[in-house]
Structure 1
Amino acid sequence: MLRSVTRVSPSSRIHRVARFSTLNPLPATFLRGGTSKGVFINRAHLPTDPTQWPPIFLGLMGSPDPDHGRQLNGMGGGISSLSKICVVGPPSDEQRAQGIDAEYTFVQVGVRDASIDYSGNCGNLTSMAGVFALDEGICHRTPSPSTSTTSIRLFNTNTKKRIDTSFPVSISDDACVPHLDIPQVSMAGVSGKASRITLDFVFPAGARTGKLLPTGNPTDTITVSILNAQTHIPASLVDATNPGIFVAISDLKRILNVPETSEIDFGDPKSVQIVESIRQEGARLMGLDPTAQAQPKIAFLAPSTDTSTHDIVIHAFSMGVLHKAVPLTVALCLGVAANVQGANVMRQLPANTVAGRDGEGGNSQGMMLRIRHPSGVVEVKSAKVIRTGRRLMKGVVWW
């Protein structure tokens, strides 16, 4: 079925109307990547003009849902980590000459509002972009008797960065097929074991701003107005895989007048408002749009409570809400930041961990960093990480 859609954009009293037709239902695959789930779409099935995509994405996700925030009319799950789309397609001729196998665009879809955000990447769903590309025949691998794993070189259009992904494959009908149910590794926040998917964010620095340190400083002072008084907060503003703002949780407790031994109620409206004020001012310092909630993300750090199991504790926000785990690109950005001498991050690390850092940052080298988040521990090595994923559904989706 072809569906004609009228998109009205009231920029003033003049309404601009765009009409287009595309398949409805639309071929799609529903995949889990890391601690996120999303709808993957072959770019060939969408209008060639990306400005015509938003009504399709909103319809298939069930957004906006201002009254309930559950997205029951679509594939979304009511939280940012379940309201995601990846559009995957073949590389351009120039990209193919550089060895790129597939390119993809990550889309963060608003839950309660109609926002469509292309400003950043999603590391969790990136782990399945190569799998989807191979499944869809967007790229191919020639099987051989010795074939057990393959690597797909991806280009992310949001950040203009290359990511290499590797995963096991099996041979079926003379083709390489991603093999995702080998009990190789487990990850916090996901039950059971699955195949090892390795992500390597090649040259991750400057994903949005063009610089690892957008302000040129490893640590900046963010000034916000609280109760008509100016408050100063040290923060590391780092742009690697995605831009991130890192603040010591002790500084947030100081601002909120929370005792050092007490926990912060991150759902309290006052806490949410102050966190967003800090994030927006940090975005301005980084030269980014402070009204775009998807980027930069903000995270609060605390020293390890058990150095035998982890190096640092993190509470990260995504789209204004405390994340139940940690966005993968935030963890990767933190892994890079932990190698930057003078960064606010280092003051939250154990002394023996800091001593081993080489101060390079911005590349795929460095030591392993074990990050404790609300659902467990994730290990990153600068901008390299292990994920798992699973195929959930392949068919069509109505929008």
Structure 2
Amino acid sequence: MMSTSRSGYARIAHGDMMRARSLTQKVANPLPASFLRGGTSKGIFLKRSDLPESQDDWKPIFQGIMGSPDPHYRRQLNGMGGGVSSLSKICVVGPPSSAQSGVDVEYTFVQVGIEDGELDVSGNCGNLSSMIGVFALDEDLCTPRFNENSGLGTVRSYNTNTAKVIDTTFPLSSSHTADLERPEVEVAGVPGKASRIVLQFVDPGGARTGKLLPTGSPSDNLALEDTAIPASLVDATNPTVFIAAEHLAGAIGLEHRELTADHLTRPDVEAVVERIRQAGAVRMGLDPSAKAQPKIAILNEPTSDKDLTDGVDVIVHAFSMGVLHKAVPMTVGLCLGVAAGVKGTLAHDILARARGRRGVAPEGMVRIRHPGGSVDVGAKFGDDGSVLNAQVVRTGRRLMKGVVWW
């Protein structure tokens, strides 16, 4: 019988990698790459032309780049990963395919599993999407759409994961390269100010399921053993399961006021959250075993004096790959901004109550507070209720350009 111990697992994984590498002998090692920060994530950016034609052959390359699988230590010390989901990411960028008209570049986002090394291409990364245009210009993959009056350039990209179009707009230097060093805005979770990058997701509804509300309802009840958890299942930029903190507290035997962020890192609570996420995945028609999609987020009403003074509309704690996120995945933040504009969702109800207490109109940008700070997200709706676009401001930074060993 084949061993299933950690050492046995490592030997099997190593053997699989060596066999797979025989398929990629023509791929350079080291491989040309850029290491970039986008928002609150960091990742490796590669040109599509430098990789094998088939995505089936990417696995050993990406595992080697990130230092996965790492089931025992979960630190990815043998690669560029950082032991958390926001640091184990790769973007593959190239010219648009002939089927895509009106876009400048095309990219595929890959989430690399830390423990198992599996590649997940089921969703997109909102944070790293903010640097697709910058990388494309750095690598001469396209020419930006330049606005002489504002000095800003826009790159329109097509994301293959979600079949959606994303515009990134950022300042350009006199040589028409991205200028990321202007002290314009600060992003929660990142020290210091940098240039404003406006990220706009065009027609973000139904990114994975084809529907903004996959079940047709803004609110559903998810069966969880001997109880049911109210949830809003929304698919915008990425599918997300939204639940209220008070309902999660009830499911784990706590009063709502007793639930704290510390509870969300307990293994038993993480297990409950994962069961809710998987139940939501089934209702959305998605694979419940896929760890990256859908995401799940716990929502709470802002009640402190500071939140009210700061104009916070909703408090969110989001999970990524089964772990509580230190900020909020940007696609979750964008999805929450969209959900807040859909009547009947948990997010919409929380927003209405929060703004009612402050005596302000429900329209406009939605201010979200997450563990790392706050972020404003916005969504524009058509007369028929469809989502025309979702928007957020990010910053980014070039960290390194050179080659990476795999």
Give the TM-score normalised by the residue count of structure 2.
0.88
Change (3 A) 1:7 1:336: farther
Distance 1:132 1:62 in 2: 23
Change (3 A) 1:8 1:63: closer
Distance 2:259 2:354 in 1: 27
Distance 1:379 1:102 in 2: 27
Match of 1:90 among 79, 88, 95: 95
- Mapping of residues 165-244 of structure 1, within 5 Å: 165-172=168-175, 176-225=176-225, 230-244=226-240
**CA offsets, 1:100-129, max 9 Å, x none?**
000100000011112100000000000001
Task: State the match for 2:279 in structure 1.
Answer: 281
Task: State the match for 1:319 in structure 2.
Answer: 321
Give the letter for the 1:271 counterpart: V
Change (3 A) 1:16 1:107: closer
Aligned residues: 372
Q: Secondary structure at the match of 2:99?
A: helix
Change (3 A) 1:391 1:216: same
1:145 Cα deviation after fit: 6.9
Q: Secondary structure at the match of 1:63?
A: coil
Aligned partners of 1:60 and 1:75 also within 8 Å: yes
1:171 Cα deviation after fit: 2.0
- Mapping of residues 1-399 of structure 1, within 5 Å: 8=16, 19-21=23-25, 22-95=27-100, 98-141=101-144, 148-172=151-175, 176-225=176-225, 230-264=226-260, 265-305=263-303, 306-309=307-310, 310-351=312-353, 353=355, 356-357=361-362, 367-382=364-379, 383-399=390-406
Q: Secondary structure at the match of 2:192?
A: strand
Change (3 A) 1:133 1:284: same
The more displaced of 343-352 and 234-243 is: 343-352
Give the letter for the 2:368 counterpart: I
Distance 1:146 1:313 in 2: 38
**CA offsets, 1:69-113, max 9 Å, x none?**
000000000000000000000001232xx3100010000001111
Change (3 A) 1:30 1:239: same
Distance 2:348 2:317 in 1: 16
Q: Secondary structure at the match of 2:210?
A: coil
1:144 Cα deviation after fit: 8.9
Task: State the match for 1:12 in structure 2.
Answer: none
Give the letter for the 1:198 counterpart: V
The more displaced of 139-148 and 211-220 is: 139-148
Distance 1:222 1:232 in 2: 5
Distance 1:61 1:256 in 2: 36
Give the letter for the 1:190 counterpart: V
Distance 1:294 1:7 in 2: 26
Distance 1:145 1:152 in 2: 15
Distance 2:353 2:174 in 1: 48
Aligned partners of 1:38 and 1:86 also within 8 Å: yes
Greater helix proportion? 2
Greater strand proportion? 1
Give the letter for the 1:240 counterpart: A
Distance 2:396 2:146 in 1: 22
Give the letter for the 2:367 counterpart: R
**CA offsets, 1:228-266, max 9 Å, x none?**
xx1101000000000000000010011111232223411
Distance 2:197 2:20 in 1: 44
Q: Secondary structure at the match of 2:215?
A: coil
